[in-house]
Amino acid sequence: MAENGARKWWALVAIAASVLVVGLDLTVLNLALPTIAIDLHASTSDLQWISDSYSLVLAAVMLPAGLLGDRLGRKKVLIAALVLFGASSAACAYATGTAELIAGRAVLGIGAAAIFPLSLSVIPVLFAPEERQKAIALMASATFISFPIGPVVGGYLLDHFWWGSVFLINVPVVALALIAVTFLLPESRSALRPRVDVLGVILSSAGLAGLTYGFIKAGQDGWTDAAALGTIAAGVAVLAALVGWERWLTRRWLAVGGLARDGLARDGLAADGDDLRGGRVRPLIELRLFRIAGFTWGTTLATLVSFAMFGIFFVMPQYFQEVRGADAMGSGLRLLPMIGGMVIGMIGGTRLASPRKDADGAASAPRASAKLLVTVGFAVMAGALAVGAGTSASSGTGFAATWFAVFGLGLGLAMPQAMNAAIGALSAERSGAGSALISALRQVGATIGVAILGTVLSSVYSSHLTVTGLPAATADAVKSSVAAGVGVAHQVNSAALLDSVRHAFVSGMDTMLWICAGIALVSAILGAIFLPRRTQWAAEPAVAAGVPAEPGVAEVPVGPVERRA
């Protein structure tokens, strides 16, 4: 059994490596866009679609991908996603035109849409409750480490190779992950095989894609843009229709299941093994999960931290490069103290939240509850962000490194525990669909965060600029972004304009960091009030309760009515 224990951890490491690659792809592309614009003769609109095609497909496909994992087998779908991600990475690397690159990025989004939720969905299947803290911390580390590592890796590749290398680097890592997943990860899937909720898939894909595109467009074209506001409104309307449809479908699903009338049926499985709902349509979204405080508030807090965190990763590289004069690799290196603090927070938080054992080997209560760790973690993040909001154009690297490290410490304390509370509500039976719901909400939160915080940054930046005496076209260029402003200042050789641009950007950045601090503080209060003291794990009865095994199929020992090949 020790060998099996080691195998599942190695399998998780392989999946974490694939998540790391997906995260890298999100960060390194921005570095390559200027080179792509020259080599492929890409317009501004082309560059936007190269970036946005990935995000749109990712949002649209994530929920159906989790459902496919539950239905067809999580290992099968994950392997297919890795193959797709690796092949499309190679296609992007050797694209000869913008249309090819946009299509390749869209296919990349399909692969990532399955990798993200399925990387979480295997945790309730493979790991017992007492092991899941460490598993979630490992998976969260892979996600967060990718953001500062991306500029370092991307900067090195762009300095020594052509722009396609930022995509080609994915291929060997994905190949290693594919081999490890193939040989180490056991197959698992839902025991129930109802019909697919096709309408739910269509509504969720359309609604999430519309909402994501609307916020992206609003961030680019402004919040008065009619197309952006119309798309956001349409996305919200479609998602509202989705919720109504899923509520009706859930009531129908439960009614047909009999709701354990004789005390022997559970989750639609009768005592004699007959599936009472075998021919029925199962809801895509398990709305009953939101009745569980751990899932609702764990997911909410994880989404809020994504909102704030992506704002930081959006603004700080610009500060280091345009205000402090660092290159892309140097900018990434300056983000690394956050990783050090995060690792310390994760290790410490996991140990504090893990059950202790007395002299007889019996488990006792942990040293600290998830509620306490999440609250303290968000409070620490709020304090670090408030300090960061005091950054000036002349602040040294040591100042940024200090508050970054403290922010990472709070993130390491809070994020794994919030995710643990959410994932704890998922049974192995529906871990794919449930994990996809968590991932989709976090993705939307990140998109909204970048759009809103980017708008705040842009508004404050442009209002603090001094462009008196400049031609209208030149002034508009300076107001468009800090990079353009710095470029114009160098072109006209104006130290006064350069100083104005840098101080205006720092003013916008500080305002944005104050908002992020407020989000973290509100999250700490919400965690203290609503998050349960202990994670309530999904009920996991013995699978042998009248459910016959299929010929040649063994049953997963962790999770209800779960089978694996």
Q: What's the token pair of residue 347?
A: 């290790």
Determine the number of helices (DSSP H) and then strands (DSSP E) in the chain. Answer: 18, 5
Mean pLDDT (whole number) for 364-379:
83
pLDDT on residue 537: 53
Closest CA to 88 of 103, 78, 99: 103
Q: Is the pLDDT of residue 278 over 70?
A: no
Contact 73, 99 (CB under 8 A): no
With residues binned 3-state (H G I as helix, E B as strand, rest as coil), the percentages for the chain, rounded to 5, are 75, 5, 20
Q: What's the token pair of residue 461?
A: 């930046």
Q: What is the band of 261 on the pLDDT scale with cuts at 50, 70, 90?
A: very low
Contact 164, 93 (CB under 8 A): yes
pLDDT on residue 181: 83
Contact 344, 161 (CB under 8 A): no
Percent of the chain with pLDDT over 90: 12
pLDDT in tens, 137-164: 777 777 777 776 777 787 788 778 888 8
Q: What's the token pair of residue 68?
A: 């496919």
Q: Is the pLDDT of residue 22 over 70?
A: yes
Place of tokens 């001094």: 466
Q: What's the token pair of residue 510?
A: 């500080």
CA–CA distance from 183 to each of 7, 70, 75, 176, 178 (Å)?
A: 9, 20, 10, 11, 9
Residue 60: burial class (beta carbons within 10 Å; 0-12, 13-18, 19+): buried
Q: Is the pLDDT of residue 86 over 50?
A: yes
Contact 396, 325 (CB under 8 A): no
pLDDT in tens, 332-351: 788 888 888 988 988 888 88
3-state SS record for 384-434: HHHHHCCCCCCCCHHHHHHHHHHHHHHHHHHHHHHHHHHHCCCCHHHHHHH
CA 312 – CA 404 distance, rounded (Å)? 10
Q: What is the band of 173 on the pLDDT scale with cuts at 50, 70, 90?
A: confident
pLDDT on residue 73: 78
pLDDT in tens, 107-137: 998 988 888 787 777 777 777 777 777 787 7
pLDDT on residue 357: 63
pLDDT on residue 240: 92
* Cβ-Cβ contacts under 8 Å for 156 (sequence gap 6 or more): 329
Mean pLDDT (whole number) for 197-223:
83
CA 305 – CA 311 distance, rounded (Å)? 10
pLDDT on residue 436: 78
Residue 480: count other Cβ atoms within 10 Å of its Cβ: 14
Torsion of CA 166, 168, 169, 175, to 10 degrees: 150
Q: What is the band of 465 on the pLDDT scale with cuts at 50, 70, 90?
A: confident
What CATH number does residue 58 fall under? 1.20.1250.20
Q: Tell me the whole-structure pTM to 2 decimals.
A: 0.78
Q: What is the band of 259 on the pLDDT scale with cuts at 50, 70, 90?
A: very low
CA 312 – CA 519 distance, rounded (Å)? 12
Residue with the larger pLDDT of the pair 282 and 95: 95
CA 281 – CA 252 distance, rounded (Å)? 9
pLDDT on residue 472: 83
Q: Is the pLDDT of residue 281 over 80?
A: no
Q: What is the band of 439 on the pLDDT scale with cuts at 50, 70, 90?
A: confident
Place of tokens 């490596």: 17
pLDDT on residue 275: 42
Which domain, by its residues, includes 222?
Answer: 2-564
Interior/surface letters 10-45, b for 16+ CB within 10 angstroms, e for the rest: ebbebbbbbbbbbbbbbbbbbbbeeebbeebebeee
To the nearest 10 degrees (0 to 180), the angle between helices 129-160 and 336-353 is 170
Mean pLDDT (whole number) for 383-412:
90
Domain count, the chain: 1
Q: What is the band of 236 on the pLDDT scale with cuts at 50, 70, 90?
A: very high
